[in-house]
Amino acid sequence: MTEVSFHFNVPDRMGYACRLLRKAARRGARVVVAAPTPVLTALDRQLWVFEPLDFVPHLHARPGQTPAPRLQATPIWLTEQVHEAPHHEVLLNMGDELVAGFETFTRVIELVSLDGPDRQAGRARWKHYSDRGYVIAKHDVAQESAA
């Protein structure tokens, strides 16, 4: 069964996602990031500039475009169409909705900010996973930052 983790009380979703993706890339993990196009475009830009001496290898796979075969091995994919990704190891959801096909991934990470509507959408996703018997790991970013 897919492992589900919620990272909540995230003060800066873009910055947190960049750090999470950098860590995953350093460990050799392969991650698919799902979100609406504006969020993916912003994340793509942020991944290029957030750390001046680091590069997080990633690909922004846009709907209807097939990446070149040499790019299929890119470890981090930013896409709305998760079923088109070449790997299904880790799914990072940065959208408000549940990702269709999440169950094909080994692990799902949900990011939930401090924003009211985002927290409400996160609760709905939590309920969906919980109602279907998924065990949910909880990571309170606010507590981790304070420690």
Q: What is the pLDDT of residue 52?
A: 83
Q: What is the pLDDT of residue 25?
A: 94
CATH number at residue 23: 3.40.50.10110
Q: What is the pLDDT of residue 66?
A: 78
SS (H, E, C) 11-72: CCHHHHHHHHHHHHHHCCCCEEEECCHHHHHHHHHHHHHCCCCCCCCEEEECCCCCCCHHHC
pLDDT in tens, 10-25: 999 999 999 999 999 9
Task: Determine, yes or no, domain membership for 79.
Answer: yes
- pLDDT at residue 49 is higher than 70: yes
Share of the chain above pLDDT 90, in %: 80
pTM of the entire predicted model:
0.94
CB 60 within 8 A of CB 41: yes
Task: Determine, yes or no, domain membership for 104.
Answer: yes
From residue 2, give the alpha-carbon distance in Å to each of 20, 106, 125: 19, 5, 14
Q: What is the pLDDT of residue 72?
A: 83
Length of the chain: 147
- Distance CA(85)–CA(67), nearest Å, equals 10
pLDDT in tens, 85-130: 999 999 999 999 999 999 999 999 999 999 999 999 999 999 999 9
Q: What is the pLDDT of residue 53?
A: 83
- pLDDT at residue 77 is higher than 80: yes
- Domains contained in the chain, number: 1
Task: Determine, yes or no, domain membership for 85.
Answer: yes
DSSP state of 82: G
Task: Determine, yes or no, domain membership for 147.
Answer: no
Domain encompassing residue 96? 3-142
